[in-house]
A and B are shown apart, each in its own frame.
Chain A
Amino acid sequence: EVQLLESGGGLVQPGGSLRLSCAASGFIFNNYAMSWVRQAPGKGLEWVSSISDSSRNTYYADSVKGRFTISRDNFKNTLYLQMNSLRVEDTAVYYCAKDSGDHDHWGQGTLATVSS
Chain B
Amino acid sequence: QAGLTQPPSVSKGLRQTATLTCTGNSNNVADQGAAWLQQHQGHPPKLLSYRNNNRPSGISERLSASRSGNTASLTITGLQPEDEADYYCSAWDSSLSTWVFGGGTKLTVL
A binds B: yes
Which residues of the other chain, B, contact A21 by a CB distance below 8 angstroms?
A: none
Contact indicator A62/B44 (Cβ below 8 Å): no
Provide the bound-state CA to CA distance between A101 and B51, in Å.
8
Contact indicator A50/B99 (Cβ below 8 Å): yes
- CB of A25 within 8 A of chain B? no
Which residues of the other chain, B, contact A46 by a CB distance below 8 angstroms?
A: 101
- CB of B20 within 8 A of chain A? no
A-B pairs with beta carbons under 8 A, tally: 56
Which residues of the other chain, B, contact A105 by a CB distance below 8 angstroms?
A: 47
Contact indicator A45/B44 (Cβ below 8 Å): no
Q: Which of A12-20, A80-88, A106-114 contacts B (4 or more CB under 8 A)?
A: A106-114
Count contacts on A: residues with CB < 8 A to the other chain.
Answer: 21
Which residues of the other chain, A, contact B56 by a CB distance below 8 angstroms?
A: 104
- CB of B15 within 8 A of chain A? no
Binding site for A on B (CB under 8 A): 1, 35, 37, 39, 44-47, 50-51, 56, 86, 88, 90, 97-104
Additional A-B contact list (19), CB under 8 Å, known A102-B47, A108-B44? A35-B99, A44-B86, A45-B45, A45-B101, A46-B101, A47-B90, A47-B100, A59-B97, A61-B98, A95-B44, A101-B50, A102-B35, A102-B51, A103-B37, A103-B47, A103-B99, A104-B56, A107-B44, A109-B44
